[in-house]
């Protein structure tokens, strides 16, 4: 049996950009044909982009996606193309079309529909019921979609053990969160070894609203060894010549595999076998083309950790990609943000510069009488180090005008929360004015710790079209900034990293005047938000009773603020928004 030449196209589509997505797809098809590829696979819902959400409820959207599937089908001469699309057959399905010889050979409908965390697939799609096996040149392969491979009882088992598939091709749109790369690899390794089958996993890459898809497409063999891998957080592809006979040899020596097959013979799950007619190759030379320069290497998770040097680098790449794609996919080319001299605005500025280029970022200093000279100097030094433009717009005169007009109405002349928030809202208005005047997107600079407890001003420092670090706890902000400085020659001034956090809205103000130290605050927040622990659990873990109660009260009270914040990149398993859905009007207290 000759080797199969496989091609994984790790693309970055835009939801609803059918023409743009098709152009990417067609380019990979042409390249695959030129390289003598047998099977070319694209990610889940590659034609529409993922997730399309309520767009799939619009008939015109589905029809447009089917129109482009027809165009792709016509390009499938001398190759097998597997591509994700929205299928309509009385009901709507998340599907993969298997095309060859300018025909749709068959359609596989996703069986396991995720309906947790950021996923709402049961809202839109029906579950597929039929498991498919394809035969090409004496070799069998199965196709399934994303979540299907996460379950030991899923279609992979039937396809590999009952159907005898040598190869499973799983097309996916699996979003990133911290720890997801290792978690996903373990699942793929387990499925490959348990079923003694090669798995080609083809994942989406890119940012889509609050989600980031990390790519990391790969081939894992029946022994759990990675044979090929695409890059993380970048569009990429790989071509690999797979020896399918190795699977057969391994299975013959594995008594467990034979026993599993015998025990499954009485199962009645539908298993349909479809033969794909062999197709002529363009020339013998094409098939024998050198793969020099093609992504093809053995890379385990340990090796991945060498390429991505640390967790902070992985997160930084996710932030940069998510920010870049949100900006560009929504038609912006430049951004503006406030530079306070603090660590949050520093990290946001660095992320923005890496995402879209330093010449497309403007930092605005908006000093008041409470701004320290150190904060102004630090902001200017940061901007110089990064190479971004700056504007200086003092707010003292505007603030005084507000006080002159509102003073008679206010109850006190003392500096209180009202006057602190006025300053933040003046700054927000300045940023929005610059946005309107220049067509710049405003980046909000708040972190997850502040957003969790409401230590931010609605319509003030919360203004913005996108919030890159909204799912990054303050302690992680410090870790990422230290990584950035190690890798990029201390571009963030050490004075920014080492200074005591302060909003600088009144004299001698410090964050810890109102909040616990961030190391303690973040641990309580993780326990309450991500682990769903209650007050008693948190106190049992050793935290002060009053501190735990105060933090929980602040989180509960500020749901209304979080609902009005800008979208931002999901990094944790429990991000605010689609991940964590709590009512604003709510009298239940987790005590």
Q: What pLDDT digit, counting tens, does each position of 38-81 carry?
A: 999 999 999 999 999 999 999 999 999 999 999 999 999 999 99
With 80 as the cut, is the pLDDT of residue 261 above it? no
Burial 300-309 (b: 16+ CB within 10 A, else e): eeeebeeebe
Q: Among residues of the chain, what percentage have pLDDT more than 70?
A: 93
Q: Is CATH 3.60.110.10 what the domain over 4-307 is classified as, yes or no?
A: yes
Q: How far apart are CA 41 and CA 339, in angstroms?
A: 45
With 90 as the cut, is the pLDDT of residue 92 above it? yes
Q: Determine the 3-state secondary structure of 547 from DSSP.
A: helix
Q: How far apart are CA 125 and CA 109, in angstroms?
A: 10
Domain layout of the chain by residue ranges:
4-307, 314-514
CB–CB of 173/13 below 8 Å? no
With 80 as the cut, is the pLDDT of residue 309 above it? no
CA distances from 248 to 156, 245, 297 (A): 16, 5, 23
Residues 6+ apart with CB under 8 A from 521: 449, 453, 474, 515, 551
With 80 as the cut, is the pLDDT of residue 506 above it? no
**Burial class for 106, CB neighbours closer than 10 Å (0-12, 13-18, 19+):** middle
Output the pLDDT for position 283.
Answer: 44
CATH class of the structural domain 314-514: alpha beta
Helical packing angle, 396-406 and 417-438, nearest 10°? 120
With 80 as the cut, is the pLDDT of residue 286 above it? no
User: Which helix H or strand E contains 201, and what residues bound it?
Assistant: strand 198-203
Q: How far apart are CA 443 and CA 462, in angstroms?
A: 9
pLDDT band at 259 (very low <50, low <70, confident <90, very high): confident
Per the prediction, the chain carries an average pLDDT of 91
With 80 as the cut, is the pLDDT of residue 133 above it? yes
Output the pLDDT for position 254.
Answer: 80
Length of the chain: 591
Q: Among residues of the chain, what percentage have pLDDT more than 90?
A: 76
With 50 as the cut, is the pLDDT of residue 415 above it? yes
Output the pLDDT for position 487.
Answer: 92
Q: Which one is predicted more confidently, 95 or 249?
A: 95
Output the pLDDT for position 269.
Answer: 62
Ranges assigned E (strand) in 439-488: 441-442
User: Which helix H or strand E contains 154, and what residues bound it?
Assistant: none
Average pLDDT over residues 531-554: 94
With 50 as the cut, is the pLDDT of residue 437 above it? yes
Domains 4-307 and 314-514 share a fold: no
Q: Which of 64-73, 110-119, 221-230, 492-501 has the highest mean pLDDT?
A: 64-73
With 60 as the cut, is the pLDDT of residue 361 above it? yes
Q: How far apart are CA 48 and CA 66, in angstroms?
A: 10
* Residues 152-204 pLDDT 10s: 989 999 999 988 999 999 999 999 999 999 999 999 999 999 999 999 999 99
Output the pLDDT for position 371.
Answer: 84
Output the pLDDT for position 301.
Answer: 47
**Burial class for 359, CB neighbours closer than 10 Å (0-12, 13-18, 19+):** exposed
Q: How far apart are CA 396 and CA 419, in angstroms?
A: 12
With 90 as the cut, is the pLDDT of residue 303 above it? no
Classify residue 211 by its DSSP letter: E
Q: Determine the 3-state secondary structure of 59 from DSSP.
A: helix
Average pLDDT over residues 437-448: 97
User: The tokens 């929980």 sit on which residue?
Assistant: 552
Classify residue 204 by its DSSP letter: -
Numbers of helices and strands, H then E, in the chain = 21, 19
Output the pLDDT for position 245.
Answer: 86
Output the pLDDT for position 278.
Answer: 81
Output the pLDDT for position 41.
Answer: 98
Q: Determine the 3-state secondary structure of 528 from DSSP.
A: helix
Q: SS3 letters for 233-286?
A: CCCEEEEEEECCHHHHHHHHCCHHHHHHHHHHCCCCCCEEEEECCCCCCCCHHH
Q: Which one is predicted more confidently, 102 or 512?
A: 102
Helical packing angle, 474-487 and 518-525, nearest 10°? 120
Average pLDDT over residues 347-376: 94
CB–CB of 523/543 below 8 Å? yes
- For residue 225, is it left (φ>0), alpha (ψ between -120 and 50) or beta? beta
Output the pLDDT for position 298.
Answer: 45
Q: What is the CA radius of gyration of the chain?
A: 27
CA contacts within 13 A on the Cβ side of 355: 29
CB–CB of 212/321 below 8 Å? yes
With 50 as the cut, is the pLDDT of residue 296 above it? no
Q: How far apart are CA 105 and CA 276, in angstroms?
A: 7
**Burial class for 591, CB neighbours closer than 10 Å (0-12, 13-18, 19+):** exposed
Choose the weakest-confidence range: 13-17, 64-68, 282-286.
282-286
Residue 335 φ then ψ, to 5°? -130, 160
Average pLDDT over residues 142-153: 95
Nearest CA to 143 out of 122, 121, 174, 165 is that of 165
Burial 395-411 (b: 16+ CB within 10 A, else e): beebbeebeeeeeeeee
Average pLDDT over residues 414-436: 93
pLDDT band at 299 (very low <50, low <70, confident <90, very high): very low
Q: How far apart are CA 446 and CA 555, in angstroms?
A: 15
User: The tokens 């912006």 sit on which residue?
Assistant: 332
CA distances from 458 to 127, 172, 244, 326, 393 (A): 42, 38, 59, 22, 21
Q: How far apart are CA 525 and CA 551, in angstroms?
A: 8
Output the pLDDT for position 493.
Answer: 95
C-alpha torsion 434→440→441→447, nearest 10 = -60
Choose the weakest-confidence range: 89-103, 270-284, 370-384, 568-582.
270-284
With 70 as the cut, is the pLDDT of residue 294 above it? no
Beta-strand pair 236-242/4-10: antiparallel
Average pLDDT over residues 92-105: 97
With 80 as the cut, is the pLDDT of residue 447 above it? yes
Choose the weakest-confidence range: 115-119, 311-315, 579-583, 587-591.
587-591
Q: Around Cβ 81, how many Cβ atoms within 10 Å? A: 25
CB–CB of 548/590 below 8 Å? no
Residues classed as catalytic = 44, 110, 146
* Residues 320-348 pLDDT 10s: 999 999 999 999 999 999 999 999 999 99
């Amino acid at each position: 049996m000759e080797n199969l030449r496989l091609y994984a196209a790790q693309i970055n589509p835009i939801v609803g950009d059918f023409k743009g997505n098709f152009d990417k797809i067609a380019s990979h098809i042409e390249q695959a044909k030129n390289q003598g590829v047998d099977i070319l696979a694209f990610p889940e819902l590659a034609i529409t982009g993922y997730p399309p959400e309520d767009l799939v409820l619009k008939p015109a959207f589905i029809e447009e996606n089917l129109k482009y599937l027809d165009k792709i089908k016509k390009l499938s001469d001398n190759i097998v193309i597997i591509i994700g699309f929205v299928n309509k057959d009385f009901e709507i399905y998340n599907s993969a079309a298997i095309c060859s010889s300018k025909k749709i050979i068959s359609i596989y409908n996703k069986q396991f529909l995720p309906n947790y965390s950021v996923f709402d697939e049961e809202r839109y799609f029906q579950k597929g019921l039929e498991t498919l096996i394809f035969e090409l040149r004496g070799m069998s392969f199965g196709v399934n979609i994303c979540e299907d491979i996460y379950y030991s009882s899923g279609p992979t088992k039937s396809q590999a053990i009952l159907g005898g598939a040598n190869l499973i091709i799983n097309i996916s749109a699996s979003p990133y969160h911290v720890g997801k790369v290792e978690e996903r690899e373990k699942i793929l390794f387990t499925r490959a070894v348990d079923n003694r089958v090669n798995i080609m996993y083809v994942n989406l890459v890119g940012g889509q609203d609050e989600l980031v898809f990390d790519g990391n497409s790969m081939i894992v063999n029946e022994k759990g060894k990675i044979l090929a891998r695409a890059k993380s957080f970048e569009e990429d592809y790989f071509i690999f010549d797979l020896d399918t006979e190795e699977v057969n040899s391994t299975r013959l020596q594995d008594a467990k595999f034979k026993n599993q097959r015998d025990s499954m013979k009485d199962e009645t799950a539908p298993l349909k076998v479809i033969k794909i007619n062999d197709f002529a190759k363009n020339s013998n030379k094409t098939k024998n083309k050198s793969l020099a320069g093609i992504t093809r290497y053995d890379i385990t998770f340990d090796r991945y950790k060498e390429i991505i040097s640390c967790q902070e680098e992985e997160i930084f790449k996710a932030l940069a990609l998510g920010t870049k794609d949100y900006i560009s996919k929504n038609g912006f080319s430049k951004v503006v943000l406030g530079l306070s001299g603090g660590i949050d605005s520093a990290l946001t500025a660095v992320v923005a510069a890496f995402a879209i280029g330093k010449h497309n970022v403007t930092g605005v200093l908006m000093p008041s009488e409470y701004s320290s000279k150190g904060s102004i100097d630090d902001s200017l030094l940061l901007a110089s180090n990064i190479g971004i433009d700056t504007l200086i717009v003092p707010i003292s005169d505007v603030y005084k005008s507000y006080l002159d007009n509102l003073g008679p109405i206010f109850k006190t002349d003392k500096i209180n929360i009202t006057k602190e928030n006025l300053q933040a809202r003046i700054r927000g208005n300045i940023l929005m004015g610059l946005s309107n005047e220049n067509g710049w997107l405003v980046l909000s600079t708040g972190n997850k710790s502040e957003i969790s407890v409401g230590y931010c001003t609605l319509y003030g420092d919360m203004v913005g079209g996108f919030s890159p670090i909204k799912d990054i706890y303050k302690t992680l902000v410090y870790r990422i900034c230290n990584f950035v400085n190690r890798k990029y020659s201390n571009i963030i001034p050490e004075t920014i990293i080492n200074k005591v956090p302060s909003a600088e809205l009144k004299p001698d103000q410090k964050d810890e005047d109102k909040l616990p130290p961030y190391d303690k605050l973040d641990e309580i927040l993780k326990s309450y938000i991500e682990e769903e622990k209650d007050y008693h659990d948190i106190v049992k873990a050793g935290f002060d009773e009053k501190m735990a109660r105060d933090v929980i009260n602040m989180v509960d009270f500020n749901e209304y603020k979080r609902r009005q914040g800008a979208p931002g990149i999901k990094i944790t398993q429990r991000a605010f928004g689609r991940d964590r859905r709590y009512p604003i009007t709510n009298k239940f207290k987790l005590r």
